[in-house]
Amino acid sequence: MEGYLHLENGETYKGEWLSHSLQHEVKGEIVFFTGMTGYQEVISDPSYKDQIIVFTYPLIGNYGINESHFESKKPHAAGVIIYEGSEMPSHYKSKYTFKQYLEKWNVPVLGHMDTRAIVKKIRAHGTMAAVMTQNSDPDNKKYTMVKDQKVSKVASSVIEQFGDGEQHIVVIDYGAKKSIVDCLLKRNCQVTIVPYSASIHDIHNLNPDGIVLSNGPGDPKELVHKLPVIKEMVQSYPTLGICLGHQLVALALGADTKKLAFGHRGANHPVADLERGRVFMSSQNHSYVVDEVSLHGTGLKKRFINLHDQSVEGLVHDDLLIQTVQFHPEAHPGPSDAEYVFDEFLKMTTLKKRSYINA
């Protein structure tokens, strides 16, 4: 059956439905992901909540879907756009095809799409509202971004505990990826995941050695009401902020954020560590960045930068025990180049001042 993608700017693209999940029109913010692999982690990443994902690599699903690489319990994308979807995955761990998994959760998939043309349009016009539909005629009245609080849709509402290691790390859940917890458990930590609505008294009662502010979807300024609590947390405990968590730390300490034209999403973004004097490839998924100009007077300074556009990729503080990263150190864009961020953070939890990098 023919299907259509209508963009906010008036463009229409025709493809074929690869799933039978579309019972109604699906709306979302259209974005693109440039990685050749990692599609299972992408569709189950809560940071993609309510977004229509265009996969730029022409063949998706060739190694199937396994039981161990999910970032959450279900997919969060509103819809998926691909060129070709493999129906014969060739990996010994594969349990489902890409199509079967998305059909199970009623996530529509449009295939045989000119994904290269769509990505070029997004790069030229920026991320925009889009509609996946069976109707070939666009209706411009439908092209509106839904301004809602996305974190509340994906974050946990209960406290969860994992591991029994030596260091107790509290993860503030804004839509945390499972692999963040896995990286901490691998380093012999006890991990407590708490809802983002937790009060500072709730955090004090847990008596953590350190705090991780997780990734999550949406505009960080949608959580402006939580900034006083975040500020008190980062002033009280060694803190690691990842992606959305990085942006929230910056906002809480007086810096500002801004939206990128089409965001950074993929497993091939080069990042420079200014303190270590090294470059590595990173995995990323975000629409917003910290405005470097706004760092003046906050005590924050950039440590990591994106070598594509020079945007801020991570911060440290002159006095507080804070480290933040815009990229995903828990992801694996090939080797695990960025996992040392977790090692530095855990070392920081044992120190009393910000001299841990070269200690």
Tens digit of each residue's pLDDT (9 = 90 or more) over 296-305:
999 999 999 9
pLDDT at 268: 85
| For range 152-177, the mean pLDDT | 95
CATH number for the domain whose boundaries are 151-348: 3.40.50.880
Q: What is the dihedral of CA 221, 264, 192, 152, to 10 degrees?
A: 40
| Rounded-to-integer distance, Cα 281 and Cα 267, Å | 7
Identify whether 328 is a catalytic site residue.
yes
| For range 26-42, the mean pLDDT | 93
The confidence band for 357, taking pLDDT boundaries of 50, 70 and 90, is: very low
Of the listed 41, 243, 292, 313, which one is catalytic? 243
pLDDT score of 354 more than 60: no
The confidence band for 137, taking pLDDT boundaries of 50, 70 and 90, is: confident
* 339: exposed, middle or buried (Cβ count in 10 Å: 0-12, 13-18, 19+): middle
Of the listed 6, 76, 317, 328, which one is catalytic? 328
Sign of CA dihedral 273, 303, 343, 334: negative
| Rounded-to-integer distance, Cα 326 and Cα 245, Å | 8
CATH class of 2-142: alpha beta
Paired tokens of 262: 């089409």
The confidence band for 335, taking pLDDT boundaries of 50, 70 and 90, is: low
Of all residues in the chain, the percent with pLDDT exceeding 90 is: 85
The confidence band for 23, taking pLDDT boundaries of 50, 70 and 90, is: low
pLDDT at 149: 81
Find residue 28's DSSP bridge partners: 130
The confidence band for 245, taking pLDDT boundaries of 50, 70 and 90, is: very high
What is the separation, in whole angstroms, between the first and last Cα of the chain? Answer: 62
pLDDT at 52: 96
Of the candidate ranges 213-227, 229-243, 343-357, the one whose mean pLDDT is the lowest: 343-357
| Average pLDDT of the chain to the nearest whole number | 92
pLDDT score of 145 more than 90: no
pLDDT at 142: 62
| Rounded-to-integer distance, Cα 72 and Cα 76, Å | 9
pLDDT at 334: 60
Q: Domain residues of the chain, as ranges?
A: 2-142, 151-348
Please work out, in degrees rounded to the nearest 5, the angle formed at the alpha carbon of residue 307 by the alpha carbons of 123 and 326.
80
Coil, strand, or helix at residue 231?
helix
pLDDT score of 158 more than 90: yes
Which residues, in sequence order, are CB contacts of 307 under 8 Å at separation 6+? 270, 271, 272, 279
